[in-house]
Structure 1
């Protein structure tokens, strides 16, 4: 047959997989004389992401531009705005003036002693005896401040560097820059006992979907409850593999016509990760095999359980783990409530530092303890304090941090940072610095602009600045 003059060819009329899809570009080209396709191609160019740059997928491990001091991060978040002058910042003058009137309120001294811990003699509250065993590894930034004394916006600031706009979380930026060392587990996991936090606090925002954080409710003790649908009730692993391979083939055809758009790539990665997690996640999150003495050391409560899981995740290559403890909105009853919170959290902090040191992971794990803002020097409710954005403390250790030291200071009553002031964005800059990045150069382009975690603002025109004074 003459191929050019054939009226009918079976090959020409056999439906192919490719024919089942019509891309947005094809639709616009066919119906909008091509100008829609031109606009769309520009939009897609702006949405280019790490897959294309890394050559190994968005989550593949990457080498930072500088020699890193830390390879992984643990953030301990004290949700509710912990009172810095009762935990980390001893204020003798405040204690000496306890009960004296200031305006329409009375000054409130701390109910706790501040012993000197370690060879360095670093002072912090008596309610942290297990952390005190590691005082010579701890740096306390006592001059941190933030932009607003409101829980929601200040929590966004701590987690994303922005109070109003939806921006990527710190963990998402870290994954964007470094990828993750374990392709069978999420690279950014946030845990807390109970309901999930506001998703804005662990969102990837405009970064590709592969960098989205994963929430885990650490109240759950069964792996099937910790990770929903971890095991299929309808198909064997072999059948799931066959189904997934077929789905990947279809998605690959779909993706090729869309120039590897970020959302589609993220969805494909999610299917594959979910399959692999059936084995690795079950093993990582199941602490039933830990020795009884280990469980007791961490504490048989929600905080102990999630900190033990955090250790297991970090040692398995998860890049960024956040654990949160609520109950720090102490408008009253600091003496009882802060002590109760610390009794649950302090043993777990001491235990995870012990274990990381024993496993040779402490020196390249950056640990930092944060809260959304600080508390007032004056009494609010009975034995409690009001909100205060002008002063809070940040605690750091491991990952190239100089231990046994306090940096900066508040005024004599602890009401405002006055010496070596450190904005929350400066803490973020320091985290990225220890991971091997110039925080001003780790950027992502979207909407015609380059964005970074430490973005400059009207009130902070320089953006973040690395806190060199706490670096070893």
Structure 2
């Protein structure tokens, strides 16, 4: 088991000051804290071996998805109808396939933060932190990459099809923990992951000679500098070599290996094929996959926007949950569906909804999450949490704990500043199996 936690945290030193007046010395305090940390964290077991983070950019409306308000006035509830799930709850009619599988996942209906701008909301939902002008925080994928590293010669953190935004990067961590981007969409007929094959005209022997020559040059260059981007490039090269040299690892990126029926079940579209690729990658050893789908910033005609955008996601997500379950992978794979914020309670004059961070919904499945639970609630018009509000820090802390990472562990930012992976997040225990 891994041991986590840091008795030398900011909280530790604050406590030292408090206990000093009671006659407890700093060494005694640290020893007691270390013993408590050991008891608390020695047996933190990872329930989730991998995470699939499905991010819906733009701000998905809670009312038109997982939190309909059928008893509110029309200008609040919108035009779409609610439907019953297989657990007796109500979802919007836009997710009929997921409604049939509601016993397999849980919904947080009380997600909340205070950032109504896309960039700031995105920062919250990729890092668990409020944006700061003083420090760029690392994304979930970068932290997982830092804590665990590669498995089966595959990149620990992969983005489909590309790194989705500036907040999905490494923040204050070294660049070597960044995400590996496919560079192409799995739904394309000519899909091919960049940099996995040798250049034309370069056979294996020629490649080995070139690599040896490059190693000689790099050793001399790296010895003369400690720049992060230089060290990161060496790490990227080494991981690329490992990937190219491992046929089984390369095969994980070959979606053509899936049979036609499986590809059809997910859907031959952006949502379906990205989700299928994510399953292939975590099955092969990738620790965290981030994928994006759609544009959910529906300021106008939200009814038609959902009718155009949600069906392929509904089918693809349902297929992913079924597929993970059938393969015995759901219990060890955490699926998280999030967005930067929700939408306004009242329909605007353009028949759309505007930005609304006060309350929105997040979906969680597998990886130590109970099925069939609705956690928290919004009020009668989906304007704010009615009970059990959940912050981005709470969500991040829970995700990390399920992966065996305790969120108050401190990482080093520039200037040898210890920064907690997440500052103050509480575990969402009612959702944890």
Deviation of the 1:313 alpha carbon: 0.5
CA contact (8 A) 1:108 1:378 kept: yes
Cα separation, 1, equivalents of 2:329 and 2:428:
23
Cα separation, 2, equivalents of 1:326 and 1:266:
31
CA contact (8 A) 1:71 1:365 kept: yes
CA contact (8 A) 2:76 2:381 kept: no
Instruction: From 324, 332, 345, give the equivalent of 2:313.
Output: 345
Residue 157 (structure 1) aligned with residue 137 (structure 2)? no
CA contact (8 A) 2:77 2:381 kept: no
CA contact (8 A) 2:152 2:249 kept: no
Cα separation, 1, equivalents of 2:239 and 2:76:
51
SS at match of 1:450: strand
Question: Cα 1:432–1:451, aligned 2, differ >3 Å: closer, same or farther?
Answer: same
Partner of 1:133: 100
Cα separation, 1, equivalents of 2:358 and 2:407:
24
Deviation of the 1:268 alpha carbon: 1.6
Partner of 1:468: 429
Residue 291 (structure 1) aligned with residue 259 (structure 2)? yes
SS at match of 1:222: coil
Cα separation, 2, equivalents of 1:280 and 1:265:
27
Cα separation, 2, equivalents of 1:75 and 1:231:
30
Instruction: From 238, 249, 268, give the equivalent of 2:234.
Output: 268
Cα separation, 2, equivalents of 1:447 and 1:132:
50
CA contact (8 A) 1:426 1:464 kept: yes
SS at match of 1:186: coil
Residues 19-75 of structure 1 show CA distances to partners (whole Å, capped at 9, x for unaligned) of xxxxxxxxxxxxxxxxxxxxxxxxxxxxxxxxxxxxxxxxxxxx9962111110001
Question: Cα 1:381–1:170, aligned 2, differ >3 Å: closer, same or farther?
Answer: farther
Deviation of the 1:140 alpha carbon: 0.7
Question: RMSD between aligned alpha carbons?
Answer: 2.3
Q: How many residues get paired?
A: 386
Residue 205 (structure 1) aligned with residue 171 (structure 2)? yes
Residues 191-246 of structure 1 show CA distances to partners (whole Å, capped at 9, x for unaligned) of 14xx7633x2221122122210122331544344x325743124212211222233
| 1:145-294 pair list within 5 angstroms | 145-160=112-127, 161-164=129-132, 165-183=135-153, 185-192=154-161, 197-198=164-165, 200-216=166-182, 217-218=184-185, 219-224=187-192, 226-227=193-194, 230-252=197-219, 255=222, 263-278=229-244, 279=247, 282-294=250-262
Partner of 1:328: 296
CA contact (8 A) 1:222 1:286 kept: no
Cα separation, 2, equivalents of 1:443 and 1:121:
44
CA contact (8 A) 1:128 1:342 kept: yes
Query: Higher Cα Rg: structure 1 or 2?
Result: 1
Partner of 2:69: 91
Cα separation, 2, equivalents of 1:381 and 1:178:
49
Deviation of the 1:336 alpha carbon: 1.6
Question: Cα 1:342–1:64, aligned 2, differ >3 Å: closer, same or farther?
Answer: farther
Cα separation, 1, equivalents of 2:420 and 2:188:
35
SS at match of 1:379: coil
Per the normalisation by structure 1, the TM-score is 0.76
Per the normalisation by structure 2, the TM-score is 0.83
Partner of 2:44: 66
Question: Cα 1:162–1:64, aligned 2, differ >3 Å: closer, same or farther?
Answer: farther
CA contact (8 A) 1:223 1:282 kept: no
Cα separation, 2, equivalents of 1:301 and 1:441:
40
Partner of 1:31: none
Question: Cα 1:251–1:399, aligned 2, differ >3 Å: closer, same or farther?
Answer: same
Residues 265-324 of structure 1 show CA distances to partners (whole Å, capped at 9, x for unaligned) of 422221122234344565222222322211110101111111111111010100100111
